[in-house]
Structure 1
């Protein structure tokens, strides 16, 4: 990657405006923000959220007074999103930066803390001279986007009252709650009192993916976090995520990521 293809800066000024005209921007906003303004329209109530902003938009973040820092702005050159480790992700495939609406993800407290930790590590690495730092940064970006994959389309679904979008919203909420114990689409269809066929039809129409892929995304997201940020053994992680054996967990993980759990942990 080029030296300036990824940059990150804390939101510390009263007004933080767009600086890199050709790059995508990821704005992670904490509690201490008054508003974010995009194309001269102000959005309030934006605490604990992430905005993904296409280069075509003008934007600025308005911070509350007397607060030292209230989040990060991450700039990504187009070439970064084409990196092999990022280009396959669902959040990239659906062109999350290029939609008509500005994608906004509200974060739960647990995900918010992990997001902050990831961005802080990216900030630290960008200022270092460590060997292989590009690989480490891309690995952290991959983890960050996997978390965002788990939130993908929640806002548009929640604001749409059609029956199919409500089914998908409820399905994703149930997966988030129960995926560590239940990996089968049929289980969630039973909870929703619909057939697996109809559940898959709804997910396919709303998100353009199979319903099974939503379960897989959640399992991969949790697997990556546990492997990278916990001291639990691979055996412990596999059983906590509901796999019948560590061998099957390793097979599942490699078949969907191209690498083994131990290789990711040691990377």
Structure 2
């Protein structure tokens, strides 16, 4: 890599960059007052990933806290020409659009993986390990794959879409309450909207109904607990809020094609 990828945590009150021929990726986690891009200030930018091409000058305005507010990743233009990224169609999926500023709200489960990828990138960039460059490119490739995942909510920074905001809150709520609530009505009550409107928003933003998002989270957690813990099938089902082992088995078979014991062995 003739010009290196750079990664840094957002710690200073003002973090800025003036057109250094690098693509910029921000993962804003919290405590940021706004992002100024080409002298336009955008507020309400927390809990999202943003992608800027080198034509944009930018400044992150952090609130007065000592903790990190996220990460800035600077990627030299020539690195995205590497064969590693040839199948990602980065231009086609508009991650680095010339005219818009893509914004992605990460699904709760994806946030954890993005954090791990960025921490590993940071670690690798500070070492001289053998095959370091190959590992860095592989991690960057994985980062883009996760960001382009269908479970995330994609929009643009200028989009103040109320439906996208509601679906993001819905997905966060599922992550918090999935062991208690499995029905759309429970979450509609939490969010103070009707079942019908919540379904309409989920369909419009992600192309699936609200129940699908709940079931998706249940399947993901069930699969993880069955394959990576020593809990019994009965324990996994009860901990995820299923009323009986039989109903848990029915649910898993319906959504995966396997019984819980088959899934555990697969």
Task: Give the direction of change, closer, same or farther, for the CA distance of 1:78–1:178 in structure 2 (3 Å limit).
Answer: farther
Q: Which 5+ residue runs of structure 1 have no aligned equivalent?
A: 183-218, 220-225, 233-238, 245-267
Q: Which residue of 2 aligns with 1:60?
A: 59
Contact kept in structure 2, 1:31 and 1:48, CA below 8 Å: yes
For 1:172 and 1:147, the matched residues in 2 are separated by: 19
Q: Which residue of 2 aligns with 1:81?
A: 80
Q: What displacement does 1:48 show? A: 1.2
More helix by percentage: 1
Q: Which residue of 2 aligns with 1:247?
A: none
Residue 154 (1) aligns with residue 154 (2): yes
Q: What displacement does 1:95 show? A: 3.5
Q: Which residue of 1 aligns with 2:192?
A: none
Q: Which 5+ residue runs of structure 2 have no aligned equivalent?
A: 164-200, 230-251, 259-266
Contact kept in structure 2, 1:12 and 1:67, CA below 8 Å: yes
Q: What displacement does 1:15 show? A: 0.2
Residue 71 (1) aligns with residue 70 (2): yes
Query: Where do 4+ consecutive residues of structure 1 move more than 3 Å?
Result: 156-161, 165-168, 172-182, 239-244
Map 1:174-253 onto structure 2 (within 5 A).
Answer: 242=256
For 1:82 and 1:29, the matched residues in 2 are separated by: 26
Contact kept in structure 2, 1:111 and 1:147, CA below 8 Å: yes
Q: Which residue of 2 aligns with 1:171?
A: 207
Task: Give the direction of change, closer, same or farther, for the CA distance of 1:38–1:20 in structure 2 (3 Å limit).
Answer: closer
Q: What is the TM-score with the length of structure 1 in the denominator?
A: 0.60
Contact kept in structure 1, 2:117 and 2:139, CA below 8 Å: yes
CA RMSD, Structure 1 to Structure 2 (Å) = 3.7
Q: What is the TM-score with the length of structure 2 in the denominator?
A: 0.60
Q: What displacement does 1:51 show? A: 0.7
Larger Rg: 2
Q: What displacement does 1:180 show? A: 8.9
